């Protein structure tokens, strides 16, 4: 059974969002998502400074046999990316909610967070998906 920390928000595309204050959020992919993808071998990170709408493709995670797009769960400006993933994409497998974070976004519209699921909602969504 995969972990779903209660303090995070989740998207239907299996991203998690952590509020860091000051309208900044950290984004990664859920434990469930990394399990589905298997051992990750590469992460294509978004460019710092890019302004992206919610739903836009912004990054790619690759395993040996699959590649999966990551979509912006919220709109905003990318203000930081996890450069370490370039050499250690396995951090996403090993610690999806900590060392495996992917990028940080300065929100354009914090009300978009209300459209995301909480942990229970996400667990129910994943169960339904199966």
The site for another protein (CB under 8 A) is made up of 39, 41-42, 44, 47, 62-67, 69, 89-90
Ranges of beta strands (E only) in 6-73 are 9-10, 15-21, 24-29, 40-44, 51-52, 57-63, 67-71
Backbone angles phi and psi of 88, in degrees to 5: -130, 65
Smallest distance, Å, CB 65 to another protein? 7
Nearer to another protein, 4 or 82 (CB): 82
Answer for the pair 79, 104: CB distance below 8 angstroms, yes or no: yes
C-beta closer to another protein: residue 77 or 90: 90
* Shortest spacing between CB 41 and another protein, in angstroms: 4
Closer to another protein at the Cβ: 42 or 115? Answer: 42
> Measured between alpha carbons, how far is residue 108 from residues 20, 33, 35, 112, 118 in Å?
15, 26, 31, 9, 21
CB 26 within 8 A of CB 18: yes
Closest CB 38 distance from another protein, rounded Å? 8
Q: How far is the CB of 93 from another protein (least distance, A)?
A: 10
Nearest to another protein of 44, 108 (CB atom): 44
């Amino acid at each position: 059974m995969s972990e779903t920390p209660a303090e995070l928000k989740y998207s239907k595309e299996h991203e998690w969002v952590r509020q860091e204050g000051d309208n900044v959020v950290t984004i990664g992919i859920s434990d469930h998502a990394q399990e589905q993808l298997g051992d990750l071998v590469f992460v294509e990170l978004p460019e710092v400074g890019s302004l992206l709408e919610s739903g836009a493709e912004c990054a790619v995670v690759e395993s040996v046999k699959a590649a999966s797009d990551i979509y912006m769960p919220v709109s905003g400006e990318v203000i930081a990316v996890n450069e370490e993933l370039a050499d250690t994409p396995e951090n996403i497998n090993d610690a999806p909610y900590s060392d495996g974070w992917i990028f940080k976004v300065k929100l354009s519209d914090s009300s978009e967070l209300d459209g995301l699921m909480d942990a229970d909602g996400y667990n129910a969504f994943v169960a339904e998906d199966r």
